């Protein structure tokens, strides 16, 4: 980002940055409310993944607390790539990304706007899946700890995911590229999220869960900062 | 076309000699380990190739940063060279590690921190090559490659930490003593000599390969430019 890209008469302030982020977020949410194509695809896909898990591994009642966190996070991660790919592909295909980039705002504002929109979509999927899963498997998932883990885990996921998706959509092989780029990088995040979720579901002492929560927070902090610094390098041209 | 530099030819010959010498030292100088016998000899190759993999990994991350700052495409050539070498040497390290693990742990593979991290590093580099393959524009390819090596480079230590937190049985040969780790062994001075000789030899081999690969990258770039000129 060079200073010349900014509008000289209005130096960027904190409030204008926040306004730009919210504008991008609002645009994505409004587009989704009108088309409903992204969230419905993510939801149906997530339900199908759970359905397949039901046949693929025996979710016997006594094993459920130990297996559930894994099933839940794999479902969220898979449904997440679907959403990430789509949210960036829409911008690219209809030339909206160029329009966004022409706007006289800090480009990281565009990144954070897209990221927050993706975060909202992932959380919405989680909010719908959790009660369904609770009913289907007679297991109460409404544990405040688990909700915290989902909040932290999906934040790190969309931070890295939005950054990598904005690279993947510009490649020739974009539909297959995102999961390949994303999954090796989010291994620590998934491990921490699964362990922490499992800890809360099995009512483990907080001393055992805390290292995983720390790891989640650390991962979120590192990759939010990295994505903030590197997004300019991806969209410049 | 530029002729091959004299120093590079010299280094190539030196690398060949050093590799043979390292093999000789491993097989004839290093003493037999008491419990593991000949199998332990793969350890010297294992640790050296893992070391070269680490060197390549760090070189790639450094070249990625250098590219993002300078935007000079020569750093991109260095980055690809380092990634490719690191990919191959880490693979050798994983295979030799498995050969060592089978008799000492009774299994080819465990989900230990170092093994898992090495495997994930391989995945990141394979993804990196796939990413590059999908982009035609050299400038954009270099930019995305640099971004991905940085993200990958940052995630690897975090991955290592997270899996260490999860479980670990890999013996720490140097530094923190881990008597409880299975298959650990005390090293005699002759074993230490052998290890450091192998590490030194493989470091020279790494530099030679890196130079060759950078030179190859530059030649490929020249060919590409000539092709474009021929079309016009």
Please give the Cα distance from A188 to A198 (Å, whole number).
Answer: 15
- pLDDT tens digits along A66-98: 888 999 999 999 999 998 988 888 888 878 888
Residues in contact with A237: Cβ distance below 8 Å, sequence separation at least 6, in sequence order: B139, B140
Q: How far apart are CA B19 and CA B201, in angstroms?
A: 6
List, for residues A120-174, the tens digit of each pLDDT value. 999 999 999 999 888 888 888 888 889 999 999 999 999 999 999 999 988 888 8
For residue A204, give every residue at least 6 positions away whose Cβ sits within 8 Å of its Cβ, in sequence order, or none.
A198
Determine phi and psi for B84, rounding to 5 degrees. Answer: -65, -45
Taking CA–CA distances from A159, the nearest residue in chain B reads: B151
Beta carbons of B148 and A195 less than 8 Å apart? no
Cβ separation of B158 and A226 shorter than 8 Å? no
**Residue A98 structural domain:** 14-236
In a domain, A28, yes or no: yes
Of B127, B161, B166, the CB nearest to A181: B127
What does the block give as tokens for A112? 């954070």
Contact assessment for residue B217 and residue B80, using Cβ atoms and an 8 Å cutoff: yes
Q: Do A148 and A216 meet the contact criterion of CB atoms below 8 Å apart? A: no
What does the alpha-carbon distance between residue A96 and residue A186 come to, in Å, rounded to a whole number? 28
Tokens of A88: 């960036």
Q: Span A17-46, mean pLDDT?
A: 89
Q: In degrees, to the nearest 5, what angle opens at C-alpha B183 toward C-alphas B177 and B189?
A: 60
Judge whether B19 and B198 are in contact, CB under 8 Å.
no
Q: Answer yes or no: is A5 within a domain.
A: no
Structure tokens at A198: 């499992």
- Helices A187-201 and B138-166: angle between axes, nearest 10 degrees: 30
The structural domain count of chain A equals 1
Q: Which of A84, A122, A114 is nearest to A235 (CA)?
A: A114
pLDDT tens-digit profile of B179-230? 445 555 667 778 888 888 888 889 999 999 999 999 999 998 889 888 888 8
Q: Is the minimum CB–CB distance between B65 and chain A shorter than 8 Å?
A: no
b/e per residue A165-203 (b: at least 16 CB within 10 A): bbbbbbbeebeebbbbbbbbbbbbbbbbbbbbbbbbbee
Most B CBs within 10 A among A88, A187, A196, A216, hence the mutation to make, goes to: A187
Residue in the block written with tokens 């900062």: A225
pLDDT, tens digit (0-9, with 9 covering 90-100), for B152-183: 988 888 888 888 777 655 565 544 444 445 55
The complex's ipTM?
A: 0.85
pLDDT digits (tens, 9 = 90+) for B32-69: 776 667 777 888 888 899 999 989 989 999 999 999 99
Tell me which chain A residues have a C-beta less than 8 angstroms from the C-beta of B166: 191, 195
The yes-or-no verdict on residue A214 having pLDDT over 60 is yes
Q: Is residue A7 part of a domain?
A: no
Q: Are B90 and B53 in contact (CB under 8 A)?
A: yes
Neighbours of B166 (CB within 10 A): 16
What's the pTM value of the predicted model, to 2 decimals? 0.85
Domain residue limits, chain B: 39-231
């Amino acid at each position: 980002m060079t200073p010349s890209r900014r509008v000289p008469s209005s130096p960027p302030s904190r409030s204008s940055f926040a306004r730009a982020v919210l504008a991008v977020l609002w645009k994505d949410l409004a587009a989704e409310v009108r088309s409903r194509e992204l969230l419905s695809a993510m939801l149906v896909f997530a339900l199908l993944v759970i359905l397949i898990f039901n046949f693929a591994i025996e979710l016997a009642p006594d094993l459920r607390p130990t297996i559930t966190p894994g099933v839940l996070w794999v479902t969220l991660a898979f449904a997440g790539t679907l959403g990430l790919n789509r949210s960036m592909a829409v911008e690219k295909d209809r030339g909206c990304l160029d329009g966004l980039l022409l706007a006289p705002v800090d480009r990281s504002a565009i990144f954070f706007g897209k990221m927050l929109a993706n975060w909202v979509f992932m959380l919405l999927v989680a909010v719908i899946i959790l009660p369904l899963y609770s009913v289907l498997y007679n297991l109460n998932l409404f544990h405040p700890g688990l909700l915290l883990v989902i909040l932290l885990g999906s934040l790190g996921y969309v931070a890295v995911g939005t950054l990598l998706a904005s690279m993947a959509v510009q490649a020739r092989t974009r539909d297959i590229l995102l999961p390949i780029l994303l999954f090796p990088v989010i291994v620590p995040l998934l491990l921490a999220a699964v362990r922490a979720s499992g800890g809360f579901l099995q009512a483990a002492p907080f001393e055992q869960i805390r290292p995983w929560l720390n790891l989640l927070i650390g991962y979120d902090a590192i990759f939010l900062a990295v994505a903030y610094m590197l997004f300019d390098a991806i969209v410049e041209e | 076309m530029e002729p091959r530099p004299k120093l590079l030819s010299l280094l190539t010959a030196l690398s060949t000699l050093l590799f043979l010498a390292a093999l000789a030292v491993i097989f004839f100088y290093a003493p037999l380990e008491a419990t593991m016998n000949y199998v332990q000899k793969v350890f010297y190759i294992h640790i050296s190739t893992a070391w070269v993999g680490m060197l390549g990994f760090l070189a790639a991350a450094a070249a990625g940063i250098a590219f993002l700052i300078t935007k000079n495409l020569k750093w991109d050539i260095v980055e690809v060279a380092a990634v490719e070498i690191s990919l191959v040497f880490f693979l050798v390290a994983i295979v030799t590690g498995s050969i060592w693990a089978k008799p000492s742990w009774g299994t080819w593979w465990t989900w230990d921190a170092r093994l898992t991290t090495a495997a994930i590093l391989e995945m990141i580099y394979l993804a990196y090559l796939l990413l590059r393959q999908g982009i035609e524009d050299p400038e954009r390819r270099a930019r995305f490659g640099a971004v991905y090596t940085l993200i990958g480079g940052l995630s690897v230590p975090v991955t290592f930490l997270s899996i260490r937190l999860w479980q670990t049985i890999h013996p720490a040969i140097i530094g923190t003593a881990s008597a409880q780790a299975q298959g650990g062994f005390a090293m005699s001075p002759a074993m230490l000599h052998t290890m450091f000789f192998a590490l030194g030899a493989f470091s020279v081999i790494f530099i030679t390969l890196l130079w060759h690969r950078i030179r190859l990258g530059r030649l490929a770039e020249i060919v590409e430019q000539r092709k474009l000129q021929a079309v016009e």
